[in-house]
Amino acid sequence: MSNDTNGPNHQALVDIGRAKIAWAKNHSPVLGSFVFKHLNDGTLRNKRIAVVVHLEAKTAYLATLLANAGANVVAAGSNPATTDGAVVAALRDAGIHVVSDAGSDLATWERELHRAADFEPDYVIDDGAELTARIGKYRPDVFQSLKGVSEQTTTGTARLYALEHAGKLPFPALTANNARCKHMFDNRYGTGQTTLQAVLRLSGRRLAGSKIAVIGYGYVGRGIAEYAAKLHARVMVIEVDPVRALEAHMDGHHVGTAHDVLPHAEFVITATGGIRALARQDFSLLTHDVILANAGHHDLEIDVDALSNAADTISHPSPDTTTYTLGTRDVHVLCNGALVNIAGGSGHPVEIMDLSFAVQGIGAHYLINTPLDPGVHVLPKVLDDAIARSKLESLGVTLAQPRPEQVDRHDGLIDEIEL
């Protein structure tokens, strides 16, 4: 997409981007009311905030809200494959500093994140701790002076905890991912719905009656499995955590190892949040014409490089599909192993990101206004609940209130025990 900043083509791009952001705004009642009120109390004024999430319309609306509240915002994409050129054009037209462009390769993306680091933010709203990690490596001076990070994903949260355990987290970091209003909805319903949408649209396939393997049974894997089963697919799960594996079994899915599952799967979707969930040793187990897609943060969940090395030939049946021929079998990878719902679709539903970005927006406000020790923190339950209440209110759903007589204070039990 053109990055030309003059002429009618550029204006058309800006208009498209504006329309996309307006659509996101119109379906984001929590951001537009509850979060808007919090952010506009004056405490964000002149704060330097980097927003590094997949750079599309919903993220742009969050960045716009922060900027309108007086913050000095820089926006960057958290993945080079997911930046929307029209949205970038609209943000720049609105005066927001954007360091990313659509269609960047990995090297360019690295330079973009370095430019975001050079912006010297006070606070980072991050996705996968992509900017946080680079600030640490590239600008240790900025890393030391960071006032707070709010992290979007499971992967990024794991990275922040690793830094904390290593004694290398000199600032407070809020794991937005661990807020219930984020992971219970974004990871499960958002990724679940849109991953299947993207896989079906890109492949032209039917889900009902098919056999789908889900690798990883966290909230993302659970959501994919749940929707796939409801749409009449036969779901098989590969999971290394015994409790999650048991949960998958109790949810009615077939649970097994790669050897048990992969030889039967027509679709394989990775959702571990880690790397090499589907790697060299698994390729011999894959069936002819199997479709592989990734729903986890890393582009590395499917080891595409190893697949490329193992392949006899590589072809491209469509711009979003790469076919690796391994002997007599063809293995099709969607979106080169990038997050399929974003790289191959429109990303999470707007209403879901309304909740997730409400957590991020309120999280940023909380970081700015609350003295916190260095380390990983979770958004207080009272704020999590307030976001949910705001969403329920926007939906016209009335929340039941507990009656006093429903509360068991265990008085009798306590009175009977004397120490």
Partner 1 sequence: MSGAATPWAARFMPVCNGVLDTVFTADELGALALSIALPPGRGTNALIDLLKARGANVAALDFDEGIFPPARADKAHVVLGFKPEFEQCVAQPDVNTVWGATLAQDAALGDVRAVHLGKSDLRAHFEDYSGAGQAGVMTFLDITNLQLAGRSALVLGFDTKARGVAACARALGAQVSVVDDDPRALVMAVARGYAAQDIKLALPGADIILCVTRGALQTLLERIEVLQPGAFVVNVADDAYHDFLGRFASIEPLRESVHACRCTDGKSIRVIAGARPLADAPDGLPLECLDVVFALHLCALRQILDTNAAPPQVTPLEAKYEKAVAEILLSRHRRS
For binding to partner 1 (CB under 8 A), which residues are involved?
19-20, 22-23, 27, 189-190, 193-194, 197, 200-201, 204-211, 227, 230-232, 264, 266, 287, 289, 316-318, 321, 330, 345-347, 349-352, 395
Nearest distance in Å: CB 192, partner 1:
9
The kind and range of the H/E element at 12 are helix 7-26
- Candidates 264, 293, 272; CA nearest to 205 is 293
- Candidates 16, 125, 144; CA nearest to 78 is 125
Q: Pick between residue 377 and residue 391 the one whose CB is nearest to partner 1.
A: 391
Q: Pick between residue 24 and residue 129 the one whose CB is nearest to partner 1.
A: 24
Nearest distance in Å: CB 211, partner 1:
7
- Candidates 63, 180, 40; CA nearest to 123 is 63
Q: Pick between residue 398 and residue 406 the one whose CB is nearest to partner 1.
A: 398
> Is 315 in a helix, a strand, or coil?
strand
Nearest distance in Å: CB 28, partner 1:
11
Q: Pick between residue 271 and residue 350 the one whose CB is nearest to partner 1.
A: 350
Task: Give the up-direction half-sphere exposure of residue 322: CA atoms within 13 A in the CB hemisphere.
Answer: 16
Nearest distance in Å: CB 387, partner 1:
15
Measure Cα distances from 24 to 43, 86, 353, 387 in Å.
Answer: 25, 14, 9, 18
Q: Which amino acid is at 262?
A: L
Phi, psi torsion values for 231, nearest 5 degrees: -90, 15
Nearest distance in Å: CB 139, partner 1:
35
User: Are 342 and 79 within 8 A, CB to CB?
Assistant: yes
Nearest distance in Å: CB 193, partner 1:
6
Q: Pick between residue 20 and residue 182 the one whose CB is nearest to partner 1.
A: 20
User: Are 307 and 290 within 8 A, CB to CB?
Assistant: no
| CB neighbourhood size of 279 (10 A) | 15
Q: Pick between residue 95 and residue 204 the one whose CB is nearest to partner 1.
A: 204
